[in-house]
Amino acid sequence: MVQIVALVTDIEERGPFVRVSLAAPDLYPALTPGRFVLADLGDYLRKPLFPASLETPPPGHGEFDVLVLPSHPAAALQPGASVDLIGPLGQGFRIPETTRRLLLVASIAHLPALLALTNQEPGLSTALLLSVASVAELYPVQLLPPALEVHVVTADGSTGHCGSILDLFPDLVRWADCACIAADPAIYPALARIVREVRIGSTHHFAQALIAPPMVCGVGACYGCAVPVRGGIKRACTDGPVFDLLELR
Amino acid sequence: MTTIELAPEHKIGLTLSNPVMPAAGCFGLGMEYRNLIEVETIGAIVVGPVTAAPRQGAAPPRTLAIPGGVLLHTGLANPGVTAVVRRYGRALAHCTVPVIVHVAGTSPDEAGSCCQRLAAIEAIAGIELGLPDTPGGLDRLGPRSGLSDFLDDAVAIIQAARVAASQPLIVRLPMVYADLLCEAAVESGADALTVAAPPRGTAWHDPTRQFITGRLYGPFVLPLAVRILHRVAGLVPVPLIGCGGIHSAEDSRAFLRAGAVAVQVSGAIWHDPACLIRVARDLAPEASSD
């Protein structure tokens, strides 16, 4: 964990998001999908940013992308600007080495936190279940890896399946041997019920869900990012932000 | 080297080589910032709050961004004094600056019990005692308890801590009642006073459609805290530690000019951990020359 000044190297629109490229060689090597940095973007509370692209081995210039909505303060950054970052922070997604069928589940606003998992590893089949309100908000599928199997759900039926993530999740979770989820936490109890029904006796961390409430310190000092779990409360910044879906209350 | 003595009347004393330290509630239990802050530069670390028994703390949401700051309501979440000593005691013993443990004095029993548990631990150089700050908010006193009940209760908590603690006792005063409590705190055995605990506020949390009441952090706290410290400095002769809204060395100097001998940096650490070191380095020469 370091506090460093990163350089903004590039900015561009990318579908419903703005892609911000940051060069931070000192923290890049310890970044993994689901871990985050806290960025000083002018507000009193730093904003969590999740890497949307990670390369192995790390590039020498330590450049990684984050994707944010146009209303996010990071979208107003300009190339050449400096950003004070603290990180990498938290516990990211843990994909067992034995995983062969990886399921990613996201609502569009939370998709950036999962994009770093879409890089195809040899021998790994990955499917993405993506929820958007309508086709106009869809992330350009051509920007995703060609081997990624994409299932789109829209609320208005303008493309893909008309309905909810919950409609397609049972079949896909039967197929998967690991599931990584980033969506509105309000839907997590319903997803957990489905996992319990269709994957009886699933292993610890079979289904992992990301929760990122406002984080004050990012290091576990302030106890401000409480997440209720079975048996008590954990901190999103140090115990999470990725939790076992079945552990969440 | 010029030093600062926070407990000149205490048999052991509490000597700092720099007037800057983190505020309770902002620095965790001493380990959380170890990769970001070199504590050798600062005067002491203040860890906690700790309570006698483990506390899960408040149900979420606990955090609300407000203009220029943050509202935070943790409900004294901590693993309890016994677990703190067991898990962190060895590491704190190796700390190169004095370690002050903030005990949440929610009742005389709790304060006495915590201080007694900490009394025999050599690595702990001082106890900072937090007090309840909301008359009528204590179940023990009842919702209609008056100010005199509240002040009596606060004094009983300080006295219980004083009897149990072997280390120097710093009492952190609630901001709203600091001037009412300061003399009684000193008479009850406080070696030094921290002025003051973060004020409380209430704000609307739209996602959950409810009000949240919690402590307020941000630069706007500074003039409130300096005002009350200046008043307390005219009332009591003990060393004062200024706390509230410090985000720069210049902010700290406002407290020193108002009568403080040391300062605590609170929410600024969260926003910019390097701030604590910057303030400590900037203040070191001034502390020497004063």
To which H or E segment does residue B178 belong? helix B178-187
Strands across the sheet containing A161-162? A161-162, A149-154, A125-132, A101-107, A178-182, A207-210, A242-244
pLDDT in tens, A201-211: 777 789 999 99
User: Which residues in B131-244 belong to E strands, given as ranges?
Assistant: 169-173, 192-195, 200-205, 210-217, 240-243
* pLDDT at res. B170: 98
**Torsional sign, CA A237, A241, A246, A249:** positive
CA atoms of B199 and B228, how far apart (whole Å): 12
Q: Which residues of A touch B (CB under 8 A)?
A: 1-3, 40, 43-46, 84, 86, 213-228, 232-233, 238
Residue of chain B nearest A227, judged by CA positions: B60
Name the region of B13 (left: φ>0; alpha: ψ -120 to 50; beta: rest). left
CA distance between the termini of chain A: 29
Distance in Å, alpha carbon of B270 to nearest chain A alpha carbon: 4
Q: Are B72 and A240 in contact (CB under 8 A)?
A: no
Structure tokens at A33: 């999908």
* pLDDT at res. B290: 46
Identity at B80, one-letter amino acid code = G
Contacts of A218 in chain B (CB under 8 A): 270
Please judge whether B62 and A226 are an interchain contact, meaning their C-beta atoms are less than 8 angstroms apart: yes
Q: Which residues of B touch A (CB under 8 A)?
A: 25-28, 32-33, 35-36, 56-65, 68-70, 72, 74, 77-78, 217-218, 267, 269-274
Phi, psi of B116 (to 5 degrees): -65, -40
Between A43, A222, A225, which is nearest B65 by CB?
A: A43
Most B-contacting residue of A27, A89, A188, A223 (CB-CB within 10 A), to test interface? A223
User: DSSP code of A234?
Assistant: E
Identity at B270, one-letter amino acid code = W
**Torsional sign, CA A221, B34, A215, A84:** positive
Distance in Å, alpha carbon of B241 to nearest chain A alpha carbon: 21
Most B-contacting residue of A3, A38, A217 (CB-CB within 10 A), to test interface? A217
Per-residue b/e over B90-99, b at no fewer than 16 CB within 10 Å?
A: eebeebebbb
ipTM computed for the complex: 0.93
Q: Tens place of pLDDT for every residue, chain B, 290 residues? A: 689 999 999 999 999 999 999 999 999 999 999 999 999 999 999 999 999 999 999 999 999 999 999 999 999 999 999 999 999 999 999 999 999 999 999 999 999 999 999 998 999 999 999 998 876 555 555 656 678 888 899 999 999 999 999 999 999 999 999 999 999 999 999 999 999 999 999 999 999 999 999 999 999 999 999 999 999 999 999 999 999 999 999 999 999 999 999 999 999 999 999 999 999 999 985 544 44
User: Which residues in A108-231 belong to E strands, given as ranges?
Assistant: 125-132, 149-154, 161-162, 178-182, 207-210, 226-229
Structure tokens at B111: 């304060």
Phi, psi of A128 (to 5 degrees): -115, 125
Distances from the Cα of A16 to the Cαs of A22, A47, B216, B272, in angstroms? 19, 19, 35, 31
Most B-contacting residue of A219, A234, A239 (CB-CB within 10 A), to test interface? A219
Residue of chain A nearest B61, judged by CA positions: A226
Residue of chain A nearest B73, judged by CA positions: A224
Contacts of B56 in chain A (CB under 8 A): 232-233
Q: Mean per-residue pLDDT for A116-126? A: 87
User: DSSP code of B10?
Assistant: S
Q: Are B37 and A2 in contact (CB under 8 A)?
A: no
Between B32, B63, B217, which is nearest A214 by CB?
A: B63
Looking at the DSSP bridge assignments, the partners of residue B210 are B205
pLDDT in tens, A125-154: 999 999 999 999 999 989 999 999 999 999
Coil, helix or strand at residue B113? helix
Residue of chain B nearest A233, judged by CA positions: B56
* pLDDT at res. B135: 62
pTM of this structure: 0.94
Assign A122 a pLDDT band (cuts: 50, 70, 90). Answer: confident
Between A3, A217, A238, which is nearest B274 by CB?
A: A3
Which of residues A85 and A55 earns the better pLDDT score? A85
Does the pLDDT of residue A61 top 90, yes or no? no
Please enumerate in sequence order all residues whose Cβ is within 8 A of that of B166, keeping only pairs 6 or more positions apart, or say none. B119, B120
Residue of chain A nearest B76, judged by CA positions: A223
Between A2, A44, A238, which is nearest B218 by CB?
A: A44
Distance in Å, alpha carbon of A211 to nearest chain B alpha carbon: 13
* pLDDT at res. B140: 58
CA atoms of A5 and A15, how far apart (whole Å): 28
* pLDDT at res. A140: 92
* pLDDT at res. B141: 56
Q: Are B197 and B226 in contact (CB under 8 A)?
A: no
